[in-house]
């Protein structure tokens, strides 16, 4: 009977192996061991007949005492006069007296850490598997590495499935805003491109009989941490919108700022003696209120600027808000964001962008896309429908980015003031 029963001989499918590989038991290769009474000539015969066997365990009274490495054993016997000297002697002459022994219930993760700590010898020789100190079989480092790869792949799959579903949730939360945009804005575009499936950028749009409130915000981070922050900020935003704040974007930003700082205890801790870690998260944002009757646009911004292009003008006008983010520890609790009021002409275009677009590196010099290229693109397509402008803007960005990796989430919103807005 074959001395080796490999873990691959069990007939399990790869999917089943992935599900099963959890402990050292799942790496067990049952090998009939030898005892100290076995001579080296017998070990030689075993290695000659079992060509796949890289190590032979030595067991005494059921407990492992050593491991004979095939290569070391064969090389030793090949030396001059060694066969004559050791041929009939005990096999312990060439065994490793301190092999790595792993308990059968040890997790794959813990096993991998201990093997790495034990050095390269275990990676070459394999290891003995025991149960409460009694011999059960051996394990191979390559099987352990394969198990770790399976586990990592499975964890990545689970994480990615969770993130993918998180994207579904995030998009669902913004569905009402997209529907309101379509109802209120005959000519508009929305560009929302997460860097990592879910985004730290988000947008808001809500229409009312007398106007509409819209905003774009860029929360701390991107990916999963950024997406968590968008949920937090969206909750604070919804709780801050009242009759008096929806027409007053500056006041709305102030209300959100106080809610965030209070809820997350984000005060300025730089002079505190406490060693406790404090969060310092918030958002850059721009909110605008459009009054249907007066055709006035009221804007307030926290780092994010408003871009306007009026009919017949040769340059894009830029309105800047305050250089204070919302909710951060260094932002004052009573920080004020100023409202900027502009009357929109028929055909005027209004745009908001997060800094992911402006800061994207590219070109021969690997510098940011920047406002100059952005404004040039807007001017070049000023008479086109907003959907065409969106495509042109994104194409210009991708062309400039080239092979550079995406730096951040990218979001943009634009609409054209038409007669329908005042209806």
Tokens of 197: 């499936």
In a domain, 71, yes or no: yes
Q: Tell me, yes or no, whether 14 and 49 share the same domain.
A: yes
Cα distance between residue 364 and residue 106, in whole Å: 53
Cα distance between residue 162 and residue 169, in whole Å: 10
- Choosing from 121, 152, 183, the residue where a domain stops is 152
- Choosing from 89, 118, 152, the residue where a domain stops is 152
Q: Tell me, yes or no, whether 218 and 101 share the same domain.
A: no
- Give 325-363 as a DSSP string: -BS-TTS-TT-----EEEEPPTT-EEEEE-HHHHT-EET
At residue 70, the 3 state secondary structure works out as helix
In a domain, 165, yes or no: no
Cα end-to-end span (Å), the chain: 90
Give Cβ neighbours of residue 96 (< 8 Å, ≥ 6 apart): 66, 67, 68, 69, 121, 125
At residue 206, the 3 state secondary structure works out as strand
Give Cβ neighbours of residue 227 (< 8 Å, ≥ 6 apart): 166, 170, 198, 199, 200
In a domain, 157, yes or no: no
Q: Tell me, yes or no, whether 201 and 337 share the same domain.
A: yes
Q: Residue 103, class by beta-carbon neighbours within 10 Å (0-12 exposed, 13-18 middle, 19+ buried)?
A: middle
At residue 29, the 3 state secondary structure works out as strand
CATH code of the domain in which 122 resides: 3.10.580.10
Angle of CA points 414, 416, 195, to nearest 5°: 10
CATH code of the domain in which 398 resides: 3.60.40.10
Q: Tell me, yes or no, whether 142 and 182 share the same domain.
A: no
Q: Tell me, yes or no, whether 269 and 352 share the same domain.
A: yes
Number of domains in the chain: 2
Residue range(s) defining the domain that contains residue 387: 174-422
Q: Tell me, yes or no, whether 269 and 218 share the same domain.
A: yes
Q: Tell me, yes or no, whether 229 and 120 share the same domain.
A: no
Q: Tell me, yes or no, whether 137 and 205 share the same domain.
A: no
Cα distance between residue 358 and residue 367, in whole Å: 10
pLDDT per residue of the chain (423 residues) written in tens, 0 to 9: 344 444 444 444 454 444 456 889 999 999 999 999 999 999 999 999 998 898 999 999 999 999 999 999 999 999 999 999 999 999 999 999 999 999 999 999 999 988 888 878 888 888 999 999 999 999 998 888 888 888 888 888 988 898 898 899 899 999 999 999 999 999 999 999 999 999 999 999 999 999 999 999 999 988 899 999 999 999 999 999 998 899 999 999 999 999 999 998 888 655 455 545 577 899 999 999 999 888 999 999 999 999 999 998 999 999 999 999 999 999 999 999 999 999 999 999 999 999 999 999 999 999 999 999 999 999 999 999 999 999 999 999 999 999 999 999 999 999 999 877 765
Q: Tell me, yes or no, whether 148 and 178 share the same domain.
A: no
Q: Tell me, yes or no, whether 134 and 186 share the same domain.
A: no
- Give 215-232 as a DSSP string: EEEEESSSHHHHHHHHHH
Q: Tell me, yes or no, whether 372 and 260 share the same domain.
A: yes
Q: Tell me, yes or no, whether 253 and 387 share the same domain.
A: yes
């Amino acid at each position: 009977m074959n001395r080796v029963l490999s873990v691959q001989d069990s007939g399990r499918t790869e999917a089943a192996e992935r599900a099963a590989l959890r402990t050292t038991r799942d790496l067990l290769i049952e090998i009939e061991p030898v005892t100290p009474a076995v001579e080296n000539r017998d070990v030689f015969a075993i290695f000659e007949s079992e060509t796949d066997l890289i190590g032979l365990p030595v067991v005494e009274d059921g407990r492992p005492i050593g491991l004979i490495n095939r290569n070391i054993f064969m090389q030793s016997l090949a030396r001059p006069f060694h066969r004559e000297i050791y041929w009939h002697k005990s096999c312990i002459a060439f065994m490793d007296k301190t092999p790595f022994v792993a308990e059968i219930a040890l997790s794959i993760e813990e096993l991998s850490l201990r093997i790495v700590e034990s050095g390269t010898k275990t990676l070459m020789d394999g290891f003995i598997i025991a149960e409460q100190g009694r011999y059960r079989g051996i394990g191979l480092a390559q099987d352990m590495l394969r198990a770790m790869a399976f586990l990592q792949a499975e964890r990545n799959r689970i994480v990615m499935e969770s993130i993918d579903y998180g994207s579904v949730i995030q998009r669902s939360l913004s569905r009402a805003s997209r529907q309101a945009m379509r109802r209120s804005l005959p000519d508009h575009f929305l560009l929302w491109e997460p860097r990592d499936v879910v985004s730290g950028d988000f947008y808001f749009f809500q229409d009312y009989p007398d106007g509409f409130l819209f905003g774009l915000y860029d929360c701390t981070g991107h990916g999963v941490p950024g997406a968590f922050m968008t949920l937090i900020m969206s909750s604070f935003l919804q709780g801050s919108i009242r009759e008096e704040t929806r027409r007053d974007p500056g006041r709305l930003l102030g209300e959100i700022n106080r809610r965030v700082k209070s809820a997350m205890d984000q005060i300025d801790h730089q002079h505190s003696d406490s060693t406790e870690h404090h969060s310092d998260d918030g958002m850059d944002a721009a909110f605008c209120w459009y009054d249907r009757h007066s055709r006035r646009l009221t804007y307030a911004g926290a780092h994010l600027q408003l871009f306007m292009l009026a009919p017949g003008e040769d340059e894009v006008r830029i309105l800047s808000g305050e250089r204070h983010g919302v909710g951060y520890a260094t932002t004052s609790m009573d920080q004020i964001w100023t409202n900027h009021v502009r009357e929109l002409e028929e055909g005027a275009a209004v745009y908001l962008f997060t800094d992911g677009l402006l800061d994207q590196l590219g070109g021969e010099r690997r510098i940011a896309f920047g406002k100059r290229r952005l404004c040039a693109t807007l001017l070049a397509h000023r008479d086109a429908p907003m959907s065409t402008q969106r495509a042109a803007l994104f194409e210009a960005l991708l062309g400039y980015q080239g092979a550079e990796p995406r730096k951040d989430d990218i979001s943009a919103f634009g609409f054209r003031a038409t007669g329908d807005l005042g209806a």
